[in-house]
Structure 1
Amino acid sequence: MAETEKNVYSGDAEADVSSGDFQIVHSDSNLKRRLGGKEVQLFAIGGAIGTSVFLTMGTWLPRGGPAGLFIGYTLWCLNVWCVNECHAEMAVYAPVPSCFITFTSYWVDEALAFAQSWAFFLCQALLVPAEITALHVMISFWTDKMPIEATVIICLALYAALNCIDAELFGIAEFYLSIGKVFLIFLLFSFTFFTMVGCNPIGDAYGFRYWNTPGPFAEYLSTGSLGAFWGTVSCMSLASFAVCGPEYISSVVGETKSPRRLLPSCYSSFKWRLLFFFIGSALAIGIVIPYDDPSLAAFISGDASGGGTSKASPYTIAMERMHIPGLPHLINAIMLTSVFSCGNGVLFAASRALFVMGQYGRAPKIFAKTTKRGIPVYAVGMCILLGLLAMMGVSDASYTVLKYFIDFCTICTQFNYSCVCITYAHFYWNLKKQGISRDSLPYKARFQPYASYIGMTCGTLAMLFLGFDIIKPFDIKWFFIDYTLLGVFPILVILVKVIKKTRYVKIGTADLGLGGMVKTIDDYEHTMVPHPEGWVERFFSGMWEWKDLLRLVNKRKD
């Protein structure tokens, strides 16, 4: 930082900078920095990509049509990219545990951070039973004799083992499970491309036929252009739940080795994950089957068995139409590991959020305790107990229970995204007021502060429009499911302000050094000696470049 610029560091902090075991003593954190770039990158993929990409997206195709689905996901991905840029600049600057909530507390208001922490924790914790429920539904592809109690207990036992033994074991598990997801996505994309140009058993080069017949847009809630508009809005509503990722990277920055070196590539490559995994999937699903496909309609209505499994996937329906046997079983098997990986990832994120909440008094202090290896075992145990909510599927249809969890988690996610963007706007203007150039930061986000304004606006609109389709006819049950938390969070902010007498941090007065933690991390980065990485590790950590491939090819020639 130039001498003419104000020093952002303040306060005192200590650090144990022994390689790989760095901890922020100032913040009483016992979490160890054991995760490498590839684990962080694939954790972000593992936590974000599940049934929403492979299966649930297809159930919204009849609402928006291929164009409505594609446009809805594209527009929402642009918004999530804006949120990612807010995460990136702040998290790389100060990679502390549950960083985005800590930033809200230091730079905006502890009351808002309190509500945000509970919103993020509830979202991740409720996703654990949601993913277990989805996994049980997918097992029914092969048999309906598996009791849901057995599925829940087995999954939770495996999650406990992966999350309680060592962070490195968790990272290794996510590494291999996420590779399976990437393989499946490229397999489905390859299937879409080769079959649409005629490489299929029936020789049907269908191309973009279904964009013409029955058409690019479906009609939802109304007819004509208004119906097409509501269909696209409905697809955006689904995307507001399905498209995620930056919060998972930010959840593990406090356990990442050499974060200032690894995190920029993890955040900057996020746009490619949005493009290929989410927008690419929305495009492919609209190509392989028409939105009025009778088989898809039967699965959605419940007239055909197998809804929620790969039988209801648009890809499987297309495979059966083209007489391609065997692949549906492979797809369901990989999707099963994909859903398991999602549950494992969100449990990790939830436990770390609860750990920091315990540190700052937003939850009982017992959740801030860790083992000697830095595992917040009590926080993990609470998240495991909340996973038992998947037992709701015993008395209610599993697919209906899954929808309950999806709507609750959508509200929590968008509230958290809005808070992140509000916090970034405060960070941006505090830098301005305190005379600190953003060029001096380790990562400078693009399109700021406008990206933060877009993110907070779209997050608010997403919460308001979540239940737009239950107004007519009015459904009281879904009204409370969709909008209860929308009222709870503002009330929680007000209650905390009154009880704890928290104060809003005025622009220009914020402690950008986080009580000395930023200085501690800066010292650690100068001391930390990075471990050497091969080209495979660099590829999966997001640091691989084309010149590495050329170097590898030339080496093999020699």
Structure 2
Amino acid sequence: MDDHKEKAHSVNVDPDVSSGEAQVLPSGATHLQRRLGGKEVQLFAIGGAIGTSVFVTMGTWLPRGGPAGLFIGYTLWCLNVWCVNECFAEMAVYAPVPSCFITFTSYWVDEALAFTQAWAFFLCQAFLVPAEITALHILITFWTDKMPVEATVIIVLAIYGGLNCFDAELFGKAEFWLSIGKVFLIFFLFGFTFFTMVGCNPLKDAYGFRYWNTPGPFAEYLSTGSLGAFWGTVSCMSLASFAVCGPEYVSSVVAEAKSPRRVLPSCYSSFKWRLMFFFVGSALCIGIVIPYNDPTLAAFIAGTASGGGTSKASPYTIAMERMNIRGLPHLINAIMLTSLLSCGNGILFAASRALFVMGQAGRAPKFFAKTTKRGIPVYSVGACLLLGLLAMMGVSDAAYTVLKYFIDLCTVCQQFNYMCVCITYLHFYRNLKVQGISRDTLPYKAKFQPYASYVGATMAVLAMFFLGFDILKPFSLKWFFIDYTLLGVFPILGVLVKIIKKTKYIRIGTADLGLGGLVKEVDDYEDLVTPEPEGWVERLFSGLWEWKDLTRLVMRKSKDVETL
């Protein structure tokens, strides 16, 4: 029997220990309990996506592309990831099941592709765990270089284990508060950029967009003139292909959301605002506060100045010291630490859930599918914690070099997963059409489809092939294997699985859009469960906080004051 033809399950009721109320759960949720509320899912989407790239590595690409190159590279790639997000959104809201996008590939395309996609996604998350720990250790060297790498790795993994092994609700609460610190830091840095550029700084220097004029908007990379500016922008886009992410993190927790059909649409629809604000906004601000040829930044990147990779090398910190603003760099570095802790925490959560579903579906050893009575996949979490020990590589190699290893490996895995999601969506779209199901009846109708899926799949392929475009001159054999080995491994793995398991491609019009009864279970769950009320955090970050709501709130406060 093909793997996609699984037996349908029935709805069951699981006691919610934390609230004392009975909670209806689809058994198709594979024993993962729905304990994450709307605010936890919203902030998980932010916490999982914003980390190393925004706070540690983005500034090092400024000399490659210049302020305009960095801004354009990130803007173009954010538009692409928005297209990918729309593919995730329509399918995940329709069927919020565990490891949903891999399940969709298995049911609607081919189990061989799903098998390969599952390992690509898992490896991406697994490599990101030691990457975040490595970045966190780099930040610690801002204060002292006496902290051993081994100590940092063990302490951070112990924290991750405590937050991920006891209760999904505990994880959600921790992620909520950690992500708030991350959001506060971004708002603070944006505020710092605006007020200092208009002259609110100790030097009374209203520098504005000075550095866009001198030394100029574009830097030259690998070549000179307009060609060098082009390659600089491409290099920034290559970094953005690693940095800009998010829809996969929301999709990895849809099976544990309390009211998925109510919570998820706002999470996905607000993604475009998160892209524009956090990623594009950061790229713009970094190019404003210092010039791309800043000698201090160049010294950090070249390794001739100590502190490269920490907030000492951050354009914001360099600008603060130049303006004689003391103390703030320490605050920024401290909040960066909590931000990376949040990001790594969310990534380990996503990786463990992916491995859990892989074990259940036969794509990994079966014992990874075992859970505690409270629905925690302890063996999967334990395996991901062990992989986090790869951060120990920083003992022998320079920590920043190790971080680059993980960044390139994760980029290939991430873009392969995005390509698979777009291909799966095209099959979903065409199956709906052939089977006579109107997309207007879906709980979430994605925009710009099917064109968005074409754009997402094409750009993902280009990102994988262009990842190592700058290793050819001069040629680096080491980086060639790091950048392109997995690009060859994934197709070979898919072919082997197809031969060994004898999987069949699911022709358009024959796909089981009900996922073996799982969609019906979700429908029944939504009919029976009492929807969680929407809170202010959700409304603020979901993009649903409309002006009329804000006006109504202000008027109500004014009336309260008048009454007093």
TM-score when scaled to structure 2?
Answer: 0.95
- Contact kept, 8 Å, 1:21 with 1:34, in 2: the verdict is no
How many residue pairs match? The answer is 549
Instruction: Kindly report which structure 2 residues correspond to 1:219-368, keeping only aligned pairs within 5 A, or say none.
Output: 219-368=220-369
3-state SS of 1:236 partner:
helix
Alpha-carbon displacement from aligned partner over 1:200-239 (angstroms, at most 9, x marks no partner): 1111111111111111110000011110000000000000
Residue in 2 aligned with 1:442? 443
Residue in 2 aligned with 1:525? 526
Residue in 2 aligned with 1:6? none
- Contact kept, 8 Å, 1:37 with 1:540, in 2: the verdict is no
In the alignment, the residues of structure 2 paired with residue 188 and residue 260 of structure 1 have an alpha-carbon distance, to the nearest angstrom, of: 34
Alpha-carbon displacement from aligned partner over 1:326-376 (angstroms, at most 9, x marks no partner): 110000000010011111010000000000000100000000010000000
Q: Could you tell me which amino acid in structure 1 is paired with residue 12 of structure 2?
A: D
In the alignment, the residues of structure 2 paired with residue 276 and residue 41 of structure 1 have an alpha-carbon distance, to the nearest angstrom, of: 15
Q: Are 1:24 and 2:26 counterparts?
A: yes
In the alignment, the residues of structure 1 paired with residue 297 and residue 470 of structure 2 have an alpha-carbon distance, to the nearest angstrom, of: 21
In the alignment, the residues of structure 2 paired with residue 451 and residue 424 of structure 1 have an alpha-carbon distance, to the nearest angstrom, of: 10
In the alignment, the residues of structure 1 paired with residue 315 and residue 537 of structure 2 have an alpha-carbon distance, to the nearest angstrom, of: 33
Q: Could you tell me which amino acid in structure 2 is paired with residue 24 of structure 1?
A: P
Q: Are 1:60 and 2:61 counterparts?
A: yes
How far apart are 1:542 and its partner, in Å?
5.5
Residue in 2 aligned with 1:143? 144
Instruction: Kindly report which structure 2 residues correspond to 1:361-400, keeping only aligned pairs within 5 A, or say none.
Output: 361-400=362-401
- Contact kept, 8 Å, 1:98 with 1:353, in 2: the verdict is yes
- Contact kept, 8 Å, 1:125 with 1:386, in 2: the verdict is yes
Q: Could you tell me which amino acid in structure 2 is paired with residue 328 of structure 1?
A: P
Q: Structure 1 residues 220, 304: closer, same or farther in 2, change over 3 A?
A: same
Alpha-carbon displacement from aligned partner over 1:250-273 (angstroms, at most 9, x marks no partner): 000000011011100000000000
In the alignment, the residues of structure 2 paired with residue 281 and residue 178 of structure 1 have an alpha-carbon distance, to the nearest angstrom, of: 17
How far apart are 1:537 and its partner, in Å?
5.1
How far apart are 1:530 and its partner, in Å?
1.6
In structure 2, stretches of 5+ residues that fail to align are: 15-20
3-state SS of 1:506 partner:
coil
Please point out which of 9, 20, 23 is paired with 1:13: 9
Alpha-carbon displacement from aligned partner over 1:294-341 (angstroms, at most 9, x marks no partner): 000000000000001000000001111111111100000000100111
How far apart are 1:472 and its partner, in Å?
1.4
- Range with bigger deviation, 544-553 or 256-265: 544-553
In the alignment, the residues of structure 2 paired with residue 539 and residue 128 of structure 1 have an alpha-carbon distance, to the nearest angstrom, of: 29
3-state SS of 2:144 partner:
coil
- Contact kept, 8 Å, 2:37 with 2:532, in 1: the verdict is no
Residue in 1 aligned with 2:38? 37
In the alignment, the residues of structure 2 paired with residue 228 and residue 541 of structure 1 have an alpha-carbon distance, to the nearest angstrom, of: 36
In the alignment, the residues of structure 1 paired with residue 61 and residue 329 of structure 2 have an alpha-carbon distance, to the nearest angstrom, of: 20
- Contact kept, 8 Å, 1:102 with 1:113, in 2: the verdict is yes
Q: Could you tell me which amino acid in structure 1 is paired with residue 274 of structure 2?
A: R
In the alignment, the residues of structure 1 paired with residue 29 and residue 39 of structure 2 have an alpha-carbon distance, to the nearest angstrom, of: 27
- Contact kept, 8 Å, 2:116 with 2:493, in 1: the verdict is yes
Residue in 2 aligned with 1:4? none
In the alignment, the residues of structure 2 paired with residue 208 and residue 299 of structure 1 have an alpha-carbon distance, to the nearest angstrom, of: 24
Q: Structure 1 residues 10, 435: closer, same or farther in 2, change over 3 A?
A: farther
Q: Could you tell me which amino acid in structure 1 is paired with residue 25 of structure 2?
A: Q
How far apart are 1:554 and its partner, in Å?
3.1
Residue in 1 aligned with 2:429? 428
- Contact kept, 8 Å, 2:109 with 2:506, in 1: the verdict is yes
- Contact kept, 8 Å, 1:211 with 1:287, in 2: the verdict is yes
In the alignment, the residues of structure 2 paired with residue 176 and residue 545 of structure 1 have an alpha-carbon distance, to the nearest angstrom, of: 25
Percent same amino acid at aligned positions? 82
Residue in 2 aligned with 1:415? 416
How far apart are 1:381 and its partner, in Å?
0.4
In the alignment, the residues of structure 2 paired with residue 534 and residue 235 of structure 1 have an alpha-carbon distance, to the nearest angstrom, of: 37
Q: Could you tell me which amino acid in structure 2 is paired with residue 13 of structure 1?
A: H
Alpha-carbon displacement from aligned partner over 1:270-294 (angstroms, at most 9, x marks no partner): 0000000000000000011000000
3-state SS of 2:430 partner:
helix
Instruction: Kindly report which structure 2 residues correspond to 1:484-495, keeping only aligned pairs within 5 A, or say none.
Output: 484-495=485-496
- Range with bigger deviation, 279-288 or 524-533: 524-533
Residue in 2 aligned with 1:3? none
- Range with bigger deviation, 46-55 or 211-220: 46-55
In the alignment, the residues of structure 2 paired with residue 61 and residue 17 of structure 1 have an alpha-carbon distance, to the nearest angstrom, of: 54
Residue in 2 aligned with 1:176? 177
- Contact kept, 8 Å, 1:152 with 1:390, in 2: the verdict is yes
In the alignment, the residues of structure 1 paired with residue 137 and residue 9 of structure 2 have an alpha-carbon distance, to the nearest angstrom, of: 47
Residue in 1 aligned with 2:78? 77
- Contact kept, 8 Å, 1:174 with 1:341, in 2: the verdict is yes
- Contact kept, 8 Å, 1:20 with 1:33, in 2: the verdict is no
- Contact kept, 8 Å, 1:10 with 1:513, in 2: the verdict is no
Alpha-carbon displacement from aligned partner over 1:462-505 (angstroms, at most 9, x marks no partner): 00000000011110000000000000000000000000000000
In the alignment, the residues of structure 2 paired with residue 61 and residue 420 of structure 1 have an alpha-carbon distance, to the nearest angstrom, of: 31
How far apart are 1:544 and its partner, in Å?
3.9
TM-score when scaled to structure 1?
Answer: 0.96
Alpha-carbon displacement from aligned partner over 1:403-435 (angstroms, at most 9, x marks no partner): 000000000000000000000000000111111
- Contact kept, 8 Å, 1:152 with 1:391, in 2: the verdict is yes
Q: Structure 1 residues 20, 376: closer, same or farther in 2, change over 3 A?
A: farther
In the alignment, the residues of structure 2 paired with residue 524 and residue 141 of structure 1 have an alpha-carbon distance, to the nearest angstrom, of: 50
Residue in 2 aligned with 1:123? 124
Residue in 2 aligned with 1:5? none
How far apart are 1:11 and its partner, in Å?
7.0
Q: Could you tell me which amino acid in structure 1 is paired with residue 291 of structure 2?
A: P
Q: Could you tell me which amino acid in structure 2 is paired with residue 216 of structure 1?
A: P
3-state SS of 1:16 partner:
strand
Residue in 1 aligned with 2:17? none
- Contact kept, 8 Å, 1:28 with 1:359, in 2: the verdict is no
Q: Structure 1 residues 28, 242: closer, same or farther in 2, change over 3 A?
A: closer
Alpha-carbon displacement from aligned partner over 1:511-539 (angstroms, at most 9, x marks no partner): 00000000110111111112334434543
Residue in 2 aligned with 1:211? 212
- Contact kept, 8 Å, 1:10 with 1:511, in 2: the verdict is no
Residue in 1 aligned with 2:168? 167
How far apart are 1:13 and its partner, in Å?
2.9
- Contact kept, 8 Å, 2:32 with 2:375, in 1: the verdict is yes
How far apart are 1:555 and its partner, in Å?
3.0
- Contact kept, 8 Å, 1:55 with 1:314, in 2: the verdict is no
Residue in 1 aligned with 2:49? 48
Residue in 2 aligned with 1:188? 189
3-state SS of 1:60 partner:
helix
- Contact kept, 8 Å, 2:422 with 2:453, in 1: the verdict is yes
Q: Could you tell me which amino acid in structure 2 is paired with residue 487 of structure 1?
A: G
- Contact kept, 8 Å, 2:178 with 2:339, in 1: the verdict is yes
- Contact kept, 8 Å, 2:59 with 2:286, in 1: the verdict is yes
Q: How big is the alpha-carbon RMSD for the aligned residues of Structure 1 and Structure 2?
A: 1.4
- Contact kept, 8 Å, 1:37 with 1:256, in 2: the verdict is yes
How far apart are 1:15 and its partner, in Å?
1.0
